[in-house]
């Protein structure tokens, strides 16, 4: 039912078509969300971004059944007077715009703080003043470190979920010292969450806050030197994919001991669609969106990706597939890290009945198949260029 005729919300009511102003629609999450909205719902999207490469396939005029339901507006929200008008035209605004690569938090802390706090302010303000609903994308980084990370290494309470599972309504947000600039991102994101929450409390803003826990899948970030800057450092999935494509060892920062949970982008987008279409159940809530069953250390992730990539590419893995580097060497001065990130799922489960489905192995297989298909040839070309004598 591509046009979504006869679709019902979780309370059995017919879903009315709405117009969505999506800021950051050209990014990884935005592209998957636009795809879902076009193929499975009747909603309209005003897609705002600086680039549209990842949604080009949705914008082809006249060739698709949803022609006219998605419009691209090339806008940098920093300084564009059209922003308020576009928010007014829509029923719902979704803000996905952010600098969200840890390699930037240290080296570009000012850009990180401005992009995640200052640039998000007008969006919140316009939604509040014009009585428009807002779905704001935050991050699991706002939790910072777990309470358990402050206990001695071998303390038995470190194994107690009370000391590491992250809950939207009760877990504290614990950051490192100011010198550790890695927390510039988490802190900016936390402050904008507090502002959104305060607009709700004082001015009745209808809002939902999303805290993604490592969403991964096709079109994530970029491959340095191919479709992104050669000196760029994307997030772990694209970093490791880049190493695998180039047959280089995967770099493990500080031994790859940090633990993370990974969720497939398509599972996560299901959750976002439920938020969009069930405002009564989603308004006023903060939602963790992650997959607690897919927990691995970064070292285990590297080992798994090496194995999966061999399978999808048909190439044997290199002799020593991983190499240890210090965080200072990799990220520069001021780096710090969260030890463990496991989302509590109680609230999203209760409000939206949502659960993630895809196992880590399956999501890596699907993502690395895409990476191999998309980039393997380009990387071969790039690495075999003759050097001018």
Q: Which of 105, 126, 185, 264 is catalytic?
A: 185
Distance, CA of 176 to CA of 143 (rounded, Å): 11
Distances (CA, A) of 293 to 18, 53, 152, 264: 34, 33, 26, 12
Distance, CA of 347 to CA of 351 (rounded, Å): 6
CB 66 within 8 A of CB 38: yes
- 143 catalytic? Reply is no
Three-state DSSP class for 38?
helix
Helices then strands, each counted (H, E), the chain: 14, 15
- Residues 6 or more apart whose CB falls under 8 angstroms from that of 80 comprise none
Distance, CA of 174 to CA of 184 (rounded, Å): 13
User: Looking at residue 221, what DSSP letter applies?
Assistant: S
Token readout for 29 is 């999450």
Catalytic residue annotation: 185
């Amino acid at each position: 039912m591509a046009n979504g005729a006869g679709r019902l919300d979780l309370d059995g009511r017919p879903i009315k078509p709405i117009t969505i102003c999506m800021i950051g629609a050209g990014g990884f999450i935005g592209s998957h969300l636009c795809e879902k909205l076009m193929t499975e719902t009747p909603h309209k999207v005003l897609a705002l971004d600086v680039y549209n490469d990842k949604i080009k396939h949705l914008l082809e005029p006249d060739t698709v059944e949803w022609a006219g339901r998605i419009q691209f507006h090339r806008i940098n929200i920093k300084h564009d007077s059209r922003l308020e008008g576009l928010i007014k035209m829509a029923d719902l605004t979704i803000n996905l715009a952010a600098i969200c690569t840890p390699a930037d938090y240290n080296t570009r802390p000012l850009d990180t703080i401005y992009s995640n706090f200052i640039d998000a302010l007008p969006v919140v303000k316009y939604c509040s003043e014009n009585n428009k609903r807002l779905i704001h994308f935050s991050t699991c980084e706002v939790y910072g470190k777990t309470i358990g990370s402050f206990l001695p290494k071998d303390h038995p309470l470190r194994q107690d979920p009370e000391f590491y599972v992250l809950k939207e309504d009760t877990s504290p947000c614990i950051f490192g010292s100011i010198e550790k600039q890695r927390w510039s991102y988490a802190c900016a994101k936390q402050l904008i969450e507090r502002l959104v929450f305060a607009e709700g409390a004082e001015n009745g803003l209808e809002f939902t806050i999303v805290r993604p826990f490592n969403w991964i899948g096709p079109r994530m970030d970029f491959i340095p030197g191919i479709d992104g800057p050669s000196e760029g450092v994307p997030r772990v999935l694209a970093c490791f994919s880049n190493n695998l494509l180039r047959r280089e060892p995967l770099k493990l920062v500080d031994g790859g001991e940090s633990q993370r949970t990974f969720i497939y982008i398509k599972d996560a987008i299901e959750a976002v669609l439920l938020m969009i279409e069930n405002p009564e159940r989603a308004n006023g809530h903060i939602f963790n969106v992650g997959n607690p069953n897919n927990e691995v250390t970064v070292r285990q992730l590297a080992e798994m990706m090496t194995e999966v990539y061999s399978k999808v590419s048909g190439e044997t893995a290199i002799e020593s597939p991983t190499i240890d580097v210090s965080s200072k060497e990799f990220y520069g001065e001021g780096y710090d890290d969260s030890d463990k990130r496991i989302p509590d799922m109680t609230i999203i489960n209760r409000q939206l009945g949502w659960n993630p489905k895809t196992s880590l192995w399956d999501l890596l297989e699907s993502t690395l198949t895409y990476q191999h298909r998309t980039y393997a040839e380009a990387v071969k070309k790039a690495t075999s260029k003759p050097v001018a004598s």
